[in-house]
Chain A
């Protein structure tokens, strides 16, 4: 089973249509990876599906970088 970090990066790459190696941990979805507002909503939905969880809208808004996504999943999926 891959680590949370690997799974998150794979999904980010798929959703935003970028190469996995471009998905650096510190990367911002909008500024570094070229996501628009709809991309970020879809990305959160894809993460919800992958990790079979629900991310409340208030929390989803704060997830703006790869690291924040990994942190959120790690903290809430224990």
Chain B
């Protein structure tokens, strides 16, 4: 990138898919700001970005808090410049059968995974529309399309994010801002390591490629979507799941 380096904001970047995405975007020449819910997490992000020679850093962000979002956006814009790439990756699960699901298990997931898109994306739009260039990538899940037992909250949040993606893509198209979703299947991260061996074997049986995906494989797709050459892809949900679900 010969021109001034663009700033990419990646939420939930301390581990798993988010970390791989932050590292990918750093390698692609963006100044990367990664966020984590704890100061320790933010520190860890700063360390790996520094090790990669990136001038970005980690910041502590609670995507379920309006105040936290505006504070982080303010300080990162002052320190670097307004982010032109946003990867909404931060997400949680609170699995339970709906018949047993507590109200807060439902609302925590919706707030962190879906309402956060309203907060964080809105805070980044001004910079992107002004620049007449922007990339928003929402990390969703195959569960948003297929459903999964015990994940009605999570599936609702991810399917909601995909609808949000399509609507926002229509709003921002005239400003050359693209908005897409990437829907990973079964990826080798802490989130999937929590599953029992039985659940894991059952899942693997449904995947034609017969293995888990690697976070780097998701990151490569996100990196592509954030590049200049991907400028004609918008409003799309790209599935990456080893063939477990074919849309």
Chain A residues at the B interface, C-beta cutoff of 8 Å: 36, 38, 42, 45
A-B contact pairs, 9 of them (CB 8 A): A36-B174, A38-B129, A38-B171, A38-B172, A38-B174, A38-B175, A42-B129, A42-B130, A45-B126
Please classify the interface of chain B as helix (H, G, I), strand (E, B), loop, or mixed, using the class held by over half of its residues. helix
Residue in A closest to B126 when the chains form the complex, CB atoms? A45
Per the bound structure, the CA–CA distance linking A42 and B172 in Å amounts to: 12
Besides the contacts A38-B129, A38-B175, what 7 more A-B pairs have beta carbons closer than 8 Å?
A: A36-B174, A38-B171, A38-B172, A38-B174, A42-B129, A42-B130, A45-B126
Residues of B within 8 A of A45 (CB): 126
Task: List chain A residues, Cβ under 8 A from B130.
Answer: 42
Q: Mark B92-128, 1 if CB is under 8 A from A, else 0.
A: 0000000000000000000000000000000000100
Interface residues of B (CB under 8 A from A): 126, 129-130, 171-172, 174-175
Neighbouring A residues of B126 by C-beta, 8 Å: 45
Give the CA-CA distance A51 to B130 in the complex, in Å: 17
Instruction: Please give me the 9 A-B residue pairs with the lowest Cβ-Cβ distance, nearest first.
Output: A42-B129, A45-B126, A38-B171, A38-B174, A38-B175, A38-B129, A36-B174, A42-B130, A38-B172
Which residues of the partner chain B approach A36 to less than 8 Å between Cβ atoms? 174
A36 to B171, CA, bound (A): 11
Complex: A38 Cα to B169 Cα, angstroms: 13
Name B171's closest neighbour in chain A (CB-CB). A38
Q: In the docked arrangement, what's the CA distance between A42 and B126, Å?
A: 8
Shortest Cβ gap from A41 to chain B (Å): 9
What is the CB-to-nearest-CB distance from A42 to chain B, in angstroms, rounded to a whole number? 6
Residue of A nearest to B175 (CB): A38
Residues on B with C-beta less than 8 A from A38 are 129, 171-172, 174-175
Nearest Cβ distance between residue A11 and chain B, in whole angstroms?
13
In the docked arrangement, what's the CA distance between A45 and B175, Å?
15
How many whole Å from B90's CB to the nearest CB in chain A? 26
Residues of B within 8 A of A42 (CB): 129-130
How long is the Cα–Cα vector from A36 to B174 in the complex, in angstroms?
10
For residue B175, which residues in chain A have a CB less than 8 angstroms away from its CB? 38
Determine which residue in B126, B172, B174, B175 has the highest number of CB atoms from chain A within 10 A of its CB, and name it: B126
